[in-house]
Amino acid sequence: MNLVKVKCAFCGKEFLRRKGQFDEAKKFGWKQYCSRKCEYQYKTKRKKLICENCSKQFERTPHEVSLHNYCSRSCAVIINNRKNPKRKAQFKICLGCGKRFRKSLGNSKYCSAKCRRKTEYYTQKEVLNILKNIAQKLKRTPARREVNGIDKVARRLFGSWNNAVLAAGFMPNRSHDNRMYKRTNAKALDGHLCDSISELLIDNWLTKNKIEHERNISYPGTNHKADWGINFKGKTIFVEYFGLAKDSPRYDKSIKKKKGICRKYKIKLVGVYPWDLYPKINLDTKLKIFLS
């Protein structure tokens, strides 16, 4: 058995210890003692310190000594508050009731949800006026995604978006409840009949950019039809508006099947999605292949 001489950390007396234990203590930085009594006396001995705030003398055991030492919690608080002063509370004036309220982390303009409802929430009459103004600018029934949040208010006040459109005196574009079956035709600038306002926007974009296109072109070997077929630089390109992508499992399965057909017959397929049209029309980017 290998033994080595070790000096006690408390009394300074030398004693023998197994080399394995000595190496382990050295590796982890442990102090070594000749007896349990010395270990206890070392760990419970008191060390005299001076408080960094009030300069008062006090005692602490070795394990309680830190980088900064204070005689009490109140002294520690005084120094810490001096080093890290608290921010003063900021206040704002409520736009609803005019009362002064404490500013929170958010950018709220109101002291409560009640004040916000009174100030910002629309009445049925106001919603109908907004829909009529938008329809007048677009010269057609507005789509739900074109009204920037008013659709949520409309659904709350009228029960559904289509009910709000009907109350404003317009014909809904497509039934949400039966979106896979019920379609409303809209006529594009070139006379093509489109199944929705979204398809009408794409068809009109193709017409305005003088891109020759045909409607409802059949996929090879199937009953599926592409919304548009375009002969571009000697190649056939299909353009589809996938309006219910990520909204209907059956519709997503149909998209996957159409993409597989196009890969098989080496036909380029360009898919246009709702986020390419709403809230901002980005067809110049999505269909830039036809502008080159």
In a domain, 261, yes or no: yes
pLDDT at position 98 is: 74
Number of compact structural domains in the chain: 4
In this structure, the answer to whether residues 114 and 195 fall within a common structural domain is no
In a domain, 160, yes or no: yes
pLDDT at 218 over 90: yes
pLDDT digits (tens, 9 = 90+) for 12-32: 899 999 989 999 998 998 989
In this structure, the answer to whether residues 156 and 75 fall within a common structural domain is no
Residues 201-216, mean pLDDT to the nearest whole number: 94
> Other CB atoms closer than 10 Å to residue 249's CB: what's the count?
8
Chain centroid to CA 182: 33
In a domain, 173, yes or no: no
pLDDT at position 230 is: 94
CA distance 288 to 291: 5
In a domain, 131, yes or no: yes
In this structure, the answer to whether residues 79 and 148 fall within a common structural domain is no
In a domain, 70, yes or no: yes
Domain membership of residue 104 as a residue range: 91-120
In a domain, 179, yes or no: no
In a domain, 180, yes or no: no
In a domain, 243, yes or no: yes
* φ, ψ (nearest 5 deg) of residue 111: -80, -20
Residues 71-91, mean pLDDT to the nearest whole number: 84
Task: Give pTM, 2 decimals.
Answer: 0.45
In this structure, the answer to whether residues 128 and 201 fall within a common structural domain is no
Query: Which position has the token pair 């014909």?
Result: 171
In this structure, the answer to whether residues 116 and 129 fall within a common structural domain is no
> Other CB atoms closer than 10 Å to residue 290's CB: what's the count?
19
In this structure, the answer to whether residues 132 and 151 fall within a common structural domain is yes
In this structure, the answer to whether residues 102 and 191 fall within a common structural domain is no
In this structure, the answer to whether residues 279 and 213 fall within a common structural domain is yes
In this structure, the answer to whether residues 192 and 252 fall within a common structural domain is yes
In this structure, the answer to whether residues 207 and 281 fall within a common structural domain is yes
- Give Cβ neighbours of residue 226 (< 8 Å, ≥ 6 apart): 216, 217, 218, 219, 238, 239, 240, 258, 269
CA distance 16 to 59: 33
pLDDT at position 118 is: 66
pLDDT digits (tens, 9 = 90+) for 117-175: 766 677 888 888 888 888 888 777 787 777 766 787 888 888 888 888 888 888 776 54
In this structure, the answer to whether residues 144 and 236 fall within a common structural domain is no
DSSP E strands, the chain: 3-7, 14-18, 47-50, 57-60, 91-93, 100-102, 186-187, 193-194, 214-218, 225-232, 235-241, 268-272
Strand (E) or helix (H) holding 134: helix 124-138
pLDDT digits (tens, 9 = 90+) for 45-55: 778 899 999 99
In this structure, the answer to whether residues 109 and 69 fall within a common structural domain is no
Chain centroid to CA 24: 50
